[in-house]
Amino acid sequence: MINKVYIEYLLLKDDEKSFQQVISIIQPKLLSFAQNILKDKSNAQDALQDSLIAIVKGVRRLKNHRKFHAWIYQVTRNKCFDIIRKNHKFKNECDLDSISEPINYENMVEEKNQDNQIDMMSMINQLPHKQKTVIQLFYYDGFSILEISKILDKPAGTIKSQLFDAREKLKHLIGE
């Protein structure tokens, strides 16, 4: 996983080549995040494209580069919700409280211990949508609870509760 500090360093360089590197690093993560919300690859790609346009246009206005990561996920989340609102038929198919399609973690898994990680991923995919999202953002994307609360527009206590519930459910699935 690429370090957030490295991305911040690239942003501080403030040149086009560095920003293109940032985009190439964040693009797969944002696509996975959008697919988790929308359950449809085509709509997720549309949301990603809209997000990247907004990110390119708005990055100069971002005063604190440390908030970049949370900000890009907020932008992507909002673009996903825009797609849901625009397409009423899709809105009925995309009940955010009952999404159960697995998150695509393939890009996030390191080669060593892959069997154990695949087992863990299959267990994570059994979690409810909200818990999967919190697990993805906390463990795979490295966000703090406060950052996740800003991304998902939920109180930090709710995020802690969802993370606790997800951990308990995973413990139960593992058999501990």
State whether 74 and 104 are in the same domain: no
pLDDT digits (tens, 9 = 90+) for 124-145: 878 888 888 888 888 877 788 9
Q: What is the pLDDT at residue 62?
A: 79
* More confident: 57 or 105: 57
Q: Please identify, among 96, 112, 144, the residue that sits at the C-terminal boundary of a domain.
A: 96
Report the C-alpha gap between 111 and 143 in whole angstroms: 22
* More confident: 8 or 107: 8
Report yes or no on whether pTM surpasses 0.75. no
State whether 66 and 142 are in the same domain: no
pLDDT digits (tens, 9 = 90+) for 68-90: 888 899 899 999 988 988 886 55
Q: Inform me whether the pLDDT recorded for 161 exceeds 90.
A: yes
Q: What is the pLDDT at residue 117?
A: 54
State whether 141 and 82 are in the same domain: no
What is the span of the domain harbouring residue 10? 1-96
The number of distinct structural domains making up the chain is: 2
Report the C-alpha gap between 101 and 62 in whole angstroms: 33
At 107, the pLDDT band (50, 70, 90 cuts) reads very low
172, 159, 57, 90: which is closest to 126 by C-alpha? 172
Q: Strand runs (DSSP E) across the chain, as ranges?
A: none
